[in-house]
Amino acid sequence: MSAQTPDIAVRTTSITRILIYAVLILFAFYYLLPLYVMLVNSLKPLDEIRQGDMLSLPQQLTFDPWASAWSTAQIGVQPTGLRPYFLNSIIMVVPAVAASTLLGALNGYVLTKWRFPGDNLVFTLMLLSCFIPFQIVLIPMAKVLGLLGLAGTTWGLSLVHAIYGIGFTTLFFRNYYE
């Protein structure tokens, strides 16, 4: 009797695992299908898209829609394409990520390795800053950026994102150093 119990447990576990993987594969297919359709249709010429077969691979591969979107697409008022907006995003994101990561790493190290009176209070306040809705600090931050002359600039937006990310990066690095 006890000799059959491990076999039943193994069989039940493998059937359960197969069912879980089947469900996960179905979910992955469900979520990745729109990405596949978008990517495949972006590589087809317009006449082939008009034929209506959205799931088939392109008969004639073309990168012209990608080049057009990058350089001449009508995104705003002028047909500038995606290039200036992409570069603007890089100019904003890279300094914000670098600054918040560096400051979060320093804060996390100090709050982990150097014990001082009130270190848990400082960490709690930094942790609570993660839960402050952005709309609450929007007007005061806009006033400060205006006083600094950074309102309406990419560097000002980068500074806002860096400051708002310090609480998260401090939490991550403090947990890493512990």
pTM, rounded to two decimals:
0.68
Whether 41 and 124 map to the same domain: the answer is no
pLDDT of 122 reads 87
Is residue 146 one of the residues assigned to a domain? Answer: yes
Q: What is the pLDDT along the chain (178 residues), one digit of tens a residue?
A: 555 565 665 666 788 999 999 999 999 999 999 999 999 999 999 889 899 888 899 998 999 999 998 999 888 788 888 999 999 999 999 999 999 999 999 999 998 998 889 888 988 888 888 888 889 988 999 999 999 999 999 999 999 999 999 999 999 999 999 8
Structure tokens at 60: 């004639």
Whether 37 and 94 map to the same domain: the answer is no
What is the number of structural domains in the chain? 2
Query: How many CB atoms within 10 Å of residue 140?
Result: 9
The number of helices, as runs of H, and strands, as runs of E, in the chain is 7, 0
pLDDT of 34 reads 96
Range of the domain at 97: 83-177
Whether 103 and 173 map to the same domain: the answer is yes
| 92: Cβ contacts below 8 Å, ≥ 6 apart | 154, 157, 158, 161
User: In 3-state terms, what secondary structure has residue 171?
Assistant: helix
| Closest alpha carbon to 166 in 118, 110, 117 | 110
Whether 91 and 170 map to the same domain: the answer is yes
Is residue 68 one of the residues assigned to a domain? Answer: no
Is residue 108 one of the residues assigned to a domain? Answer: yes
Is residue 134 one of the residues assigned to a domain? Answer: yes
CA dist., res. 27 & res. 125, Å (int): 39
Whether 133 and 173 map to the same domain: the answer is yes
User: In 3-state terms, what secondary structure has residue 114?
Assistant: coil
Is residue 41 one of the residues assigned to a domain? Answer: yes
Whether 89 and 173 map to the same domain: the answer is yes
Check if the beta carbon of residue 58 is closer than 8 Å to that of residue 43.
yes
User: In 3-state terms, what secondary structure has residue 60?
Assistant: coil
Whether 88 and 40 map to the same domain: the answer is no
